[in-house]
Each structure stands twice: as C-alpha cells, then as structure tokens.
Amino acid sequence: MVSLPKGYQIRRTEVGDYLGVMDTLKVLTEVGHVPREQFVETITYWNSVQVPWIGSKSHGNGVQPIKAYDPLVITNESGRVVATGTIVIEAKLIHSCGLVGHIEDVAVASDQQGKQLGLLLIEHLTEIGRKAGCYKIILDCSVKNVEFYKKCGYTQVGLEMEFRF
C-alpha cells in the first residue's frame, strides 16, 4: 500500500465532516442541496445498516454482522477533508449467499489530485471488501478514469447500463 502524506489521515466519515465531504464531492458531480440535518440522517442510517453473516468462508462459523456502508474520508494536516469514497456491501443469494462490494462516489479535491490519494482510498476500500469476505468488488466509472482504476488493480469487464429518471 502507498503511504499517506505526513499529517494526513484516513478514517470513517463522521457527521462532523458535513462541509468537507459536500465540498469534495463537487469534483465528482452535481451535489444538489443537502442540508446538514439530511447529511447527519444519512450518515446515521449508514452506520446502522448491517449485513448479517450469511455463510462467507472468511467469516468462520460465528455470527458476525458487518456494516453494509463504509464511507471513508482522507483529511490533510489541518483536518480538512480532501478525499472521500464509499464501499457498499451487498448480500446476495448467488455464489452461496456471497457478498459483493460496490465502490461509489470517489472524489479527491482538485488541489489534491495527483498525490496518490485516490489510489490510497481505493486500496483501503478494497481491503474493507476483502476483509468482509466479498467475492468481488465492482464500480462504474467514465472512460477517462479507466486507467486510474487499472492502476488500482481493477480490470475492465462488461458495460454499464442506465435508466435515468
């Protein structure tokens, strides 16, 4: 794994990260109007949802629920959020009730891009999925980011379809 720059930290997103996360996500897409209370409600919901143990080999024999949402932030030496990304763990029936990780909403602040923060974030999200016992992790990205994800160890398979409302 690559190392964080001095003073930078990677950790689970907290309700106090409201402004930093919302600002960082602007490099990804149209964020829209998200009042602080809705951010707090969403983080609280993410913290509460668990995937029950359902037979993944890596979980052994015990019943060990895991969090379904793992939102991460990277903060810089002054505590500012400079990157964010989430893995969502999906419980399936196929693959013997296997787990699939979905990496979502990856964003590195414009002035922090090119410092390996994106790579580091993906490495950490991937490790969460591996430890959870996922048999694979998937994500959607635009063509311009394919090379970035290849550098993170991902391979290009299939096509993305969308039905937009």
Per CB under 6 A, which region of 12-20, 36-44, 54-62, 133-141 contacts ligand ACO? 133-141
Alpha-carbon distances of 27 from 35, 63, 68, 109, 136, rounded to whole Å: 19, 40, 25, 7, 27
Q: Kindly state whether residue 71 participates in binding ligand ACO, applying the rule CB under 6 A.
A: no
The span from the CA of 39 to the CA of 18, in Å, is 7
Which residue matches tokens 């024999």? 61
In the list 105, 123, 135, 154, the residue contacting ligand ACO (rule: CB under 6 A) is 105
In the list 39, 46, 135, 148, the residue contacting ligand ACO (rule: CB under 6 A) is 148
In the list 117, 125, 128, 137, the residue contacting ligand ACO (rule: CB under 6 A) is 117
In the list 14, 90, 111, 147, the residue contacting ligand ACO (rule: CB under 6 A) is 147
Q: Kindly state whether residue 119 participates in binding ligand ACO, applying the rule CB under 6 A.
A: yes
Alpha-carbon distances of 57 from 11, 53, 123, 131, 134, rounded to whole Å: 27, 10, 22, 11, 10
